[in-house]
Each structure stands twice: as C-alpha cells, then as structure tokens.
Amino acid sequence: MTVENEWFQTDYYKVLGVSENATLKEITRAYRKLAKELHPDVNKGSEEQFKKVSKAYDVLSDSSKRKEYDEVRKFGPAVSYGSNGSSGNVNFKVDDISDMFSGLFKGGFGKNSKRTTAYSQRRGQDVETSYKLSFEDATNGKTETLSVNYPADCHECNGTGAAKGSVQKVCDKCMGSGYLQTDGGLFSLNQICDKCSGKGTIVTNPCPVCFGTGKEFKPQRVTVKFAPGSSSGQKVRIKGKGLPGSNGGPNGDLYVNLTVQPHKLFTRKGFDIYLTVPITFYEAVNGATISIPDVAGKKITLKIPQNCPNGRTLRVPGRGIATKGQSGDLYVVVEVEVPTRVNEAQKQALEEFEKNRNDDINIREKVESYIKVTQEVKK
Ligand SMILES: [Zn+2]
Ligand SMILES: [Zn+2]
C-alpha cells in the first residue's frame, strides 16, 4: 500500500482524538497523553496502537505533511500517469467539498443547504493538474494526452457509501432531511446536518471500495496542445475540462501547470537557445570550422574565428525556437579547453611557446598594478 493510500484510508485525527482543525499544541498534547498510555513498556499488547498513534503524530505535527495528508483525505490518492514524464496530482481549487460535489451528485449534500442558489445555474469548479514536458517537446511544441482524475460516484456502491446488501439508517438527528433548522429570530437558518453530512441517511456498514465516502476518482483522457516555446511555470488552460456545472451551468476549466525538464546540452532564454561548445586552445588561436547540433538535432557548420577568446558567444540566427510569429536564435558559447594532462613532447612545445611569447606584454599588468600592500599574505 502506498503512503497516500494509507493516508486516504486512515483518519489520523480520529487516531489522536483531535478535531480536524486542531492546533499543533493540541495535537502534541493528545499525542503525548496517548503515547504515555500506550507505550509497549507500560502496556503490553498495545504495540499496534502505539505505532498507529506515532504515525499519526508524525504526519500531523509536520505542517507540510499535514497539508498533503489533508489533501489526500479530501481528494483521494494521486495517480501516476505512466512513463512519459508526467506527474499526476490533481488539485481542485475548492475550499468547500460540498461545493465541489454539488454539481456531481444529484441534490448535492443537503437539499436545502443552499436555498438561494439551489435552482440557479452554477459554473463547475476548475481543476488543476501538473505535467512535465521534455526540453525538446517544450521547444518544438507537442500534443499530449493526459490522464486526469475526476471525482465520480463509486462504482461499487453507486455513490451511497454503503456496502452491498447493507441497510442505510435514516439519520436520527435530522430525521432524514439532511439539514438542521436553527431558530434565528426572524429568520430560521438551515444548516447541513453534521451527523450525516447532509445526506439524510447514515451508513452503518461502509463500502469497502470508497470507505463510505461514496466517491472515487476515475481517470479521463484529456488532449492538451503545448505550443512551441512552452516554458516552466506556465499554466495551460483547457476550457470546459473542469468539473461539470450544476443546473445547466457551464463546466469549469482544467489548468495544467507545466514543468519543462532541463536538457543536458541546451538552455533557454525566451525563444533563444544557448549551447556551450568546447574547443581546443589550438582551434581558439587558429580558428576552425566545427559541427554542432541545433535543438532539433540538425547539423550546423560553425566557423570559429581566429584568436577567439574563451567565453565568446557566437550567434546563429534563426536556429532558436520557431513559433508562428517569430523565431529565436541559437547562441553558442565557446569554452576553450585547457589540457589537464600533457606528455613530454607537448610540455617541451609549450615551454618553447612560452619562451617565444611576446615577453614585453604582461597579461596581468592591469591586475598587478592594483597591488599596494607592502606586507605579503601567502594564500
Ligand atoms: Zn463505494
Ligand atoms: Zn442528518
């Protein structure tokens, strides 16, 4: 069982006996108390429970873990989308789960909980997912098929949350209406029943597939067109692929958060591509004609000028990212390679070279002229 599945199935708040909005202090207090009671040294046979409590504390005491856990509990475990580099946590941009499902489940949670809007059109919620694209695909543009998890009625229990053959009791707190009426003077207010979450019925024997939630996530394929030059951090909107609207309202949209994976050779700045190319000292001095690839793998013949300094950037026009309206350039950064191992013959040749160097030129003159301190510090 993956961690997320385990999270989805275990109510750590219940394990610690705290509410879902408990503070860290409350969580720690509850944990300490339980840990003392259940410690295997004190209480033999409570190892399992002790482990459970420790696990719950481990998750709930870490704010980022807790946030993740809450999301998994709310939306279900993430599904991974195969081998093409996509990652698949679906996040719904909703704070209120009853909002999210109101369009999906007939009548939503609580028939009268949203009286004013019960029969008005509502746009479906937006859905967010993330996707990773290779550098080449982002550069050249690519149409991809994503698998996105959408909430739906559980296939096992048809959304009732009850195990097959089990009987559902009518909620005794709201008498099956799904809401509670509180007297607010002139106005009487309707609140969703907290005992049955507005369903009007109570599940006594929960469905083993959805753990009584009545919901499950089903993947759907969505085609997304990534334009040439797509970049990390971009949100690609796919209209109408969010959750369905209610009472004839339009669907929400799907937002795909894009991450572009780095390339082992190329980097990007806007529509321009950068490539660092090593050349030898000899080539730098005498000039050379070399072969380099563009990002599509096409060969480019590049002329290195004579006396080319290290770090010089040579521009190859039009070989960057091409979009409909414009095309970027390819910038080649020259890196003069310094030999790390030289043989005897090369060493002699180099010494000869150094001897014949124009001795009246001090290459460090500019730097050395700055030396003012009389006392020497050895480094
Ligand atoms: Zn079910
Ligand atoms: Zn109820």
| pLDDT one-digit tens code per residue, 240-263 | 999 888 878 899 999 999 999 999
List of residues 6+ apart from 344 with CB closer than 8 A: none
Alpha carbon of 180 to ligand 2 centroid (Å): 8
Alpha carbon of 215 to ligand 1 centroid (Å): 6
Mean predicted confidence (pLDDT) in 104-125: 51
Kindly indicate the confidence band of residue 45, based on its pLDDT and cuts at 50, 70 and 90.
confident
CATH number, domain 78-112+120-152+217-261: 2.60.260.20
Give the pLDDT confidence score for residue 104 in this predicted structure.
39
| pLDDT one-digit tens code per residue, 336-378 | 999 899 999 999 999 998 888 776 678 888 888 888 766 667 7
Instruction: Select 266-368's CATH number: 2.60.260.20, 1.10.287.3510, 1.10.10.10, 1.10.760.10.
Output: 2.60.260.20
What phi, psi does 376 have (nearest 5°)? -90, 135
Alpha carbon of 203 to ligand 1 centroid (Å): 11
| pLDDT one-digit tens code per residue, 136-160 | 999 989 999 999 988 888 898 888 8
Mode of pairing for the β-strands spanning 127-133 and 235-238: unpaired
Cβ neighbour number for residue 36 with a 10 Å cutoff: 10
Give the pLDDT confidence score for residue 46 in this predicted structure.
79
Per the CB < 8 A criterion, the answer to whether 124 and 249 are in contact is: yes
Q: Domain coordinates of the chain in residue numbers? A: 1-76, 78-112+120-152+217-261, 266-368
Alpha carbon of 96 to ligand 1 centroid (Å): 21
The amino acid at residue 370 is: Y
Kindly indicate the confidence band of residue 77, based on its pLDDT and cuts at 50, 70 and 90.
low
CATH number, domain 1-76: 1.10.287.110
Taking the whole predicted model, whether its pTM rises above 0.85 is answered as: no
Sign of CA dihedral 49, 51, 56, 57: positive
What ligand has the least distance to the C-alpha of 159?
1
What ligand has the least distance to the C-alpha of 212?
1
